[in-house]
Amino acid sequence: MAARLLRLVSAAALACAVAACIQDDGSRFDPVPGRTRMSADSERELGWQFDLEAQKVLPMITDLEVLEFVNDLGNVMIDGLGEQPFDYRFRVIVNPELNAFAVPGGYIYFHSGTLLTTGDVEELAGVLAHELAHVKGHHHARLVQETALPNLLASLAGIAAGAATGSAGPLLAAQGVNVALQLQYTRQFEDEADRVGAVFLTRAGYRPDGMVRFFERILLEKDRRPEGEIPSYLYSHPQVESRIDVVRGLELEPTRTPPRFAERFRAMQQRVAYLVAKGRAGPASVAPHDRARTQPFLDAAAARRRANDVDGALAQLLEAERAEPGDPRVPVLRGDILLEAGRPADAAVAYRRAIHLDPNPPAVLLALGRAHRDAGDRRDAIFFTEQALWRTGARGVLRQQAERQLERLIFPVIAESGFGDERATPASGVPRLPAGGAPIDWWARIGPHYVGVMEYLRVRWTDPSGAVVRDEKPKKSQRVYFGDRLETGDSTPAPGEWKVDVLLANDLVHTQRFVVAD
């Protein structure tokens, strides 16, 4: 297994647990000033390919309770990073060693031993912040550009494989390693990750002390081992002693109140310990409930749904929940009805209730991912779509749907878009266009993952009242760019917020909003 992962990492030239050259507080910086960097699309593709293979060869925990905690903690940290080119993903490898590592594209891997051994949330947050700094810095690109030495890449590939497997074998197997140069770069990157990671901690409400305590824990682990046996963390994170002094010397204080994760942290640790002891990856068992109590209400709600009586259907489901709060079918049907009614955020709340009653059905997890997607929450859309995928069989329609939904979430079909001859509109931006009778021109660039899909695209324009005024194939296309025009004739477009939707084979893959001024 270690050899296979070594080949994989070598092929992708991935460096485990590396960070960027950052000269400010971490909110804005150029990790490779004056140089052409690997594109975000390329990093995303590398990370995706690595993760697909890693899941085949590394035992991973897929339990919803465990991963939801790690994901929520990660998102608290990410909120302090500013706009990101990646959707970060968190994995837990079943391995007792204290270790964590990151690869390009936003993938961060924890060993189960790290989750079980950290003393509190602040300590685990310190590990996470350090790895986020690695990814934030695009350090893989910097390694490629600052050194063209195959020996260094082979060494780092060995480090990545050793970190993933808890073994020094892959590192020792890398031939012709230039150890001195490798250490020179790795020490520099670790120092940078510590400094910037400490800033990320304070933005999330945590003190950098947690990072220090984890370093001290690594040194204790080293002292307990036979002479010459080194913890795997130290292969990829050297010079821990001096890094403790660096972090202590930063004198940073939290800038907000930390989230209340202490109780969930202990529950997560108990769940990991149980899964590891039982040799299980998840998911959880389902509490017993009496289906007979809810069935009449479910039948009545379904009838109301067929009659397009949304309020009546929801009222029946409220009665069903009062009769038997533990039946997951009730919130599932509520979510289906709300999603149909165009209320994805409310549907997500219902589906979340359902999966906490029964986290097993992949169809419900996929629907939850879709609800988050339609509500504009890509992070949770990806998280729950992955959960659905891990619970489907090797084949089947549901698996195909989950794979397609996940791929389109990870790799946006539309890389950027805008109006007229203006530059691309930021993802969160809603431009204001002047009133008047001139046509409105809109353009977009297809992401590199989807070259060749142009003929399957449609562009749909929706006015402020919700009426669709145009739904056709793009009027213009050239290689990876295409555009469309809303002809207004002699009239002025209705004032208010409009939408331009892009559909790929009838799936909504992009929405651009704009406002026509009064």
Please identify which residue in the block is written with the tokens 């905690």. Answer: 69
> What pLDDT is recorded for position 238?
57
| Ramachandran assignment for 330, one of left (phi > 0), alpha (psi -120 to 50 degrees), beta (any other) | alpha
Q: Is the peptide bond before 283 cis (omega within 30 degrees of 0)?
A: yes
Q: Where do the domains of the chain lie, and which CATH numbers do they carry?
A: 2-13+39-278 (no CATH), 291-410 (1.25.40.10), 414-516 (2.60.40.1930)
pLDDT mean values, one per 10 residues, the chain (518 residues): 47 37 34 51 84 88 95 92 85 92 89 95 94 81 54 47 53 38 58 87 90 85 66 59 78 82 96 92 77 97 97 98 96 98 96 94 97 92 96 88 93 91 79 82 92 90 93 88 86 87 90 89
Closest of 384, 428, 430, 413 to residue 72, by C-alpha: 384
Contacts of 484 (CB under 8 A, 6+ apart): 441, 442, 459, 461, 470, 472, 474, 475, 476, 500
Q: Which two tokens stand for residue 478?
A: 């050239």
Q: What is the pLDDT of residue 165?
A: 55
In this structure, how many other beta carbons lie within 10 angstroms of the beta carbon of residue 272? 24
SS3 state at 501: strand
Calculate the alpha carbon distances from 500 to 150, 375, 485, 509 in Å.
Answer: 47, 16, 11, 11
Q: Under 8 Å CB-to-CB from 371, ≥6 apart: which residues?
A: 335, 339, 344, 345, 347, 348, 351
In the block, which residue shows the tokens 């060693």?
97
SS (H, E, C) 172-213: HHCCCCCHHHHHHHHHHHHHHHHHHHHHHHHHCCCCCHHHHH
User: CB–CB of 502/473 below 8 Å?
Assistant: no
In order, the DSSP letters of 54-114 are: HHHHS-B---HHHHHHHHHHHHHHHTTS-S-SS--EEEEE---S--EEEETTTEEEEEHHH
Rounded CA-CA distance 513/151 in Å is 49
Q: In the prediction, which pLDDT does 144 show?
A: 57
Strands across the sheet with 100-103, in order?
A: 89-93, 107-111, 100-103
Instruction: State residue 43's pLDDT score.
Output: 83
Q: Quick one: pLDDT at residue 340?
A: 96
414-448 per-position pLDDT tens digit: 989 999 888 888 766 888 888 777 889 999 999 98
